[in-house]
Amino acid sequence: MKLLKTVCLLFIASLLLTSCKSEEKKELAIVDNANIYIKGTMDAELTSPPFVPAPVGNRPAKKLLVNMEILEKEGTMTDGVQYVYWTFGGSVPGSFIRTRVGDLVEFTLSNHPDNKLPHNIDLHAVTGPGGGAESSFVAPGHKKTFSFKTLNPGLYVYHCATAPVGMHIANGMYGLILVEPEGGLPKVDKEYYIMQGDFYTKGATGERGLQPFDMTKAVKEDADYVVFNGKVGALTGDNAITANVGETVRLYVGNGGPNLTSSFHVIGEIFDNVHVEGGDLINKNVQTTSIPAGGAAIVDFKVDVPGTFILVDHAIFRAFNKGALGMLKVTGEENKKLYSGIKQEGIYHPEGSTIQTMPEEKKKKVVAKVVEKTLAQKLKDGKQVYMKTCFACHQAEGQGIPNAFPPLAKSDYLNADVKRAIDIVLNGKTGEIKVNGKKYNSVMTRQSLTDEEVADVMTYVYNSWGNNKTNVSIKTVKAVKSSH
């Protein structure tokens, strides 16, 4: 019995000792990151979105010199809408910073002399008061330098923290800093930098001109634009990110906020790996990942088939109506075993980006006297309306979508009756029609456009793609409207 007690006591002591050693190892690991030996000095490579600097690989920890300039500059939010952005490095989001655990970062923040306001920087990767904000408050025409040790691997947000903090962030002052583990992240074929932000303007969504920031909307979290990389269309068309079939893609995704959480999703892909909130925890086979304001995630996936894959905030009205939409264009050979393409034709109803309702009766309105634009101006403005409202259904060259939406290019139906076409834009249409000898039976939703916008977009359509070059006047639009 005495022997048994002795054995039990020894076993318990062994467990306690093992536990202590385990905790000691954890403690040593934390201490080691703070005391990693620094070998040499190098200038940090900084990149504008959607690009990222070269991976750190196996390089030793270094003194890393980061030089970043704050610029207040006017830019384009969407066609016809200008906005004064406050930026780190001249872009929204700001320059991507790539480091490794144990680096000693010497950060110099300069505020361009033409700027109007003081700024600073709070880097979530910093262990220190304000994340560096207390050491970096800088007036226009001045610069500040401070240093910090990168202790924790992960993907971190940085942002301005000068009062009013929300206003500085809402005007575009955010970016990402990556701290790679020792030895670097696993290699991939393509890497890109994407960051979501919500913007608040005095004018309504799409209202033209230079739009100032609206503090009241921001406090109410009523965003006019929710976008990737600072503007509508920053990652679409010629700006789309690219990959080849068979390649692995890594996206460094951040959310500057200042208010809204992102539900990040790539339509037609599944994330093989997601570094949850940019940290060590990895989820596999993820469809949509939640990224809080002021947070980030690293997502990896392999592209197996060609095509255009759509990046969205899956709070879906933000994507299709406020701008949180991008494209990944993948080229290469098809693989019918994985994806067959169309096997049976059906009707598909893609969406435009304006507010739409079903057809309804309209009350008569008094026709007011208006001043017409020049044809050149109407064509320019009409194209903007078309790309925002009509593009998804009728396509860039007016070719339509087979068996779903009729073509506008060289359309006998369109050219035969201008007033009928205007009426369809104003009030919508359901039922069968015949265009260029083919039958179509779908729904054209009523478009919530001003009389001027209707005149502009119809003039653009009639003066494009081999149509009859009608110049549609606002007076004609009003006359069609008043006939109901």
Cα 369 → chain centroid: 42
Residue-level pLDDT at 356? 59
C-alpha to C-alpha distances, 477 to 9, 266, 382, 412, 421, nearest whole angstrom: 94, 40, 14, 20, 10
Separation CA 417–CA 378 (nearest Å)? 20
- Give yes or no for a contact between 120 and 159, defined as CB atoms under 8 angstroms apart: no
Q: Which helix (H) or strand (E) holds 110?
A: strand 104-111
Q: What is the pLDDT of residue 61?
A: 96
**Torsions phi, psi of 19, nearest 5?**
-65, -45
Q: Tens place of pLDDT for every residue, the chain, 484 residues?
A: 555 555 455 555 555 555 544 544 444 444 478 889 899 999 999 999 999 999 999 999 999 999 999 999 999 999 999 999 999 999 999 999 999 999 999 999 999 999 999 999 999 999 999 999 999 999 999 999 999 999 999 999 999 999 999 999 999 999 999 999 999 999 999 999 999 999 999 999 999 999 999 999 999 999 999 999 999 999 999 999 999 999 999 999 999 999 999 999 999 999 999 999 999 999 999 999 999 999 999 999 999 999 999 999 999 999 999 999 999 999 999 999 999 987 665 443 445 445 555 565 555 555 555 678 999 999 999 898 887 778 767 887 899 877 778 999 999 999 999 999 999 999 888 888 999 999 888 777 778 789 999 999 999 999 999 999 999 999 999 999 888 7
Which CATH number does 41-188 carry? 2.60.40.420
Q: Helices 474-482 and 451-462 sit at what angle, rounded to 10 degrees?
A: 120
Q: Can you name the CATH fold of 356-482?
A: Cytochrome Bc1 Complex; Chain D, domain 2 (1.10.760)
Do 449 and 457 touch, CB atoms closer than 8 A?
Answer: yes
Q: Per-residue b/e over 361-383, b at no fewer than 16 CB within 10 Å?
A: eeeeeeeeeeeebeeeebbebbb
CA distance 160 to 169: 6
Residue position matching structure tokens 């008569």: 364
Q: SS3 of 333, please?
A: coil
Residues of the chain within CATH 1.10.760.10 domain(s) are 356-482
123: β partners: 158
**Domain 191-331 classified CATH 2.60.40.420?**
yes
Residue 96: beta bridge partners? 47
| Integer angstrom CA distances of residue 215 from 203, 218, 219, 221, 293 | 12, 5, 6, 10, 18
In angstroms, the CA 455 to CA 373 distance is: 10
| C-alpha distances out from residue 87 to 112, 115, 174, 273, 380, Å | 11, 11, 8, 31, 30
CATH 2.60.40.420-classified regions of the chain? 41-188, 191-331
